[in-house]
Structure 1
């Protein structure tokens, strides 16, 4: 999570705002009236299963498509009536790397510089700067078709930065990457915010990614925002936190159960599950009982709800797309 910012996000101007955004395709409602306010210099993550409306939201906010109704403003400019001003201030990185495999990394960046009407001198300077920042200098003149997935995603993000956008939309930026490449991308994303004050709008299905990066998170399901807050705020809304005690034998388990009346007892595993919210006060209360009664527990573990629990509870999905096995990831 971005912790380097000094000014409270609630006091900053809105980089992105939206009110009542709706979008349908025929009888299918994709967005059903969503409201957003994302302060400057923060990372906002939009979570949701496939088909929830994440990509449609990005397409509307980045002027690629128009909403059926509602309003949205980017850096103070209306996405419909002042789309050109919006486009000058944003960068968009889609689910799949939009790089030309027939060109070198440097040529891809120079092509983007031409599209931004930079002079040849400024374009080369900007390309060299981005190649160095993304640790692609040694591969600058290699054909992109030979790049790994992680290198292609880094180059894709570098190309987005050629025009120095103040707001960047990242639509599932780490899909298909191995764990090391994902963490490299996370660090690059963090640095854009902490070093340059860029605002990031991130869509992802990876709950650990949102937990690691986002200042605020919203959960989108069936076209509606069903929750919004910090990761900790969302976790606190979900029941299920507990302290789990394991004992050496049934005698110790039975004795402890007599002192923890609300605990769930499991004779097979010799454990007690004591409800709580995972706070230090809860843990201290359990330890105080053990200490005052002399009851010996073999082990103690604390469980607090995580974003997996939040996703499952809020969307009602049986299988949350969390912490995927990188070996089984595939681009959609």
Structure 2
């Protein structure tokens, strides 16, 4: 599908077809989200099943840029939209964490880059000759921030912003300012309303100062996760057998982030396991979490995650009714 760092590997024939999601992108400070372990997990599960596969198919999907950085930002969105999972019966995903959990909750999410364009002039000698793009961006920032007061709180709106750049010197009226805006909500419809309101505020702010403005999406829309308790329950069986304390994510839990895996869960029944690799409370995307994502430190937890998913896959391969139950649950949910 035109993504040079994506891949699909498969073995077997016929149904059920089980997909495993592999991620491998890093952040600027390295693997502080542990995606290196996700690809290792997918490989481990697939390698074990390949030796025992009689009927059915195992697929591994290599999915770049989950973090929304780079050319293939949110690759699973495109894969899902292009029908790549159209013949897949169920999908399993994994993520390193500071707790054991099955299931996933995620926000619907989209990001935009707002570019305000004004006119440079000497800030002391002839400020009236300039058009201050930064002032327009600051007004937009303030207005977008106030959106929180007009959005239904039951959709748990989240707004994140930062100035990517503005101006060149204090004695020059800024002729260009860049504001990046990230919008999240537990509802796709609510997210669309937030985006429409944000665009109106940004446009009005630009017009108020006589600026022109461009709005460019910097990521595709990440959709909220459709939980499948049938598949999550299978993943939890191994954790229970090992007497591990774990959380079962349900629809009423407020998300803590966003993932393009949510888009996959919207087109095919998807189960998910979080693998505990660090002490509880260790923040993701931190240098501290990166240290725990070292495979030599995470290997024992990774092996348990592989075992849990492998056992779930063996159950699915041996009992077609599980796929039926997962699909029925999937079809009933919005």
Superposed pair shares fold, TM > 0.5: no
Tell me the TM-score normalised to structure 2 length.
0.25
Tell which structure's C-alpha radius of gyration is larger.
Answer: 1
